């Protein structure tokens, strides 16, 4: 499957190891700096990879009616980068995350206008009351059109279909319909999007 490999968590240890190697080799300062720069550039380029194999996890296929009455199909969104985001109006971490998702959507929507592929957010809510769901969409200014809710709460088939046990939860799907990664947030999600939208 496609794998997200973050460099940030292991960067301090890598720098320490490279520094130790430099001391052992007794290189002069100029060569030390040059070698460190080359190593870090190489690591940075390796920090994000798409590893594809026959066992790639395909995203679950579904077709649903959105809040605006349109039909959305995950299959028809192939060719685009899709973030499927699970949330609920009554869940405060979800509401807080909505603001981050909104900023990322606005940032990569602008990129989408210059690319053949688009960044699309599909939000699936576990709400049970239509009025609270629609009010939250409006209040949080979630102006994309792909909002879905079957008003079954945790009994929704989406829960078992996408195999999650908490909200917020997200799944990033590549242009071929494969799951890139699950549950990355903030700067890590921003970094993933910047790479895949290149």
The pLDDT tens digits of the residues spanning 137-185 come to: 999 999 999 999 999 999 999 999 999 999 999 999 999 999 999 999 9
**Assigned CATH for 63-196:** 3.40.30.10
Query: What is the pTM assigned to this prediction?
Result: 0.73
Strand pairing of 71-73 and 81-87?
A: unpaired
Distance CA 68, CA 70 (A): 6
Q: Using one digit for the tens of pLDDT, what is the confidence trace for 44-76?
A: 444 444 433 345 789 999 999 999 999 999 999
Listing DSSP states for 7-44 in one string gives SGGGHHHHHHHHHHHHHHHT--HHHHHHHHHHHHHHHH
Question: 178: which DSSP letter?
Answer: B
């Amino acid at each position: 499957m496609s794998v997200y490999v973050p460099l940030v968590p292991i960067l301090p240890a890598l720098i320490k190891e490279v520094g130790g190697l430099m001391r052992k080799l007794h290189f002069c300062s100029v060569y030390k700096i040059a070698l460190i720069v080359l190593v870090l550039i190489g690591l940075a380029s390796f920090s994000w990879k798409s590893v594809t194999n026959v066992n790639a996890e395909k995203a679950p296929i579904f077709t649903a009616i959105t809040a605006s009455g349109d039909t959305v199909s995950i299959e028809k969104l192939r060719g685009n980068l899709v973030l499927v985001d699970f949330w609920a109006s009554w869940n405060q971490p979800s509401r807080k995350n909505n603001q981050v998702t909104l900023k990322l959507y606005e940032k990569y929507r602008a990129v989408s206008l210059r690319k053949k592929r688009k960044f699309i957010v599909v939000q699936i809510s576990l709400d049970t009351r239509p009025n609270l769901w629609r009010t939250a969409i409006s209040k949080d200014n979630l102006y994309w059109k792909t909002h879905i809710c079957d008003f079954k709460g945790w009994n929704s088939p989406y829960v078992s279909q996408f195999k999650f046990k908490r909200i917020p939860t997200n799944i990033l799907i590549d242009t071929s319909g494969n799951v890139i990664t699950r549950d990355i947030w903030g700067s890590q999600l921003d970094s993933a999007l910047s790479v895949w939208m290149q």
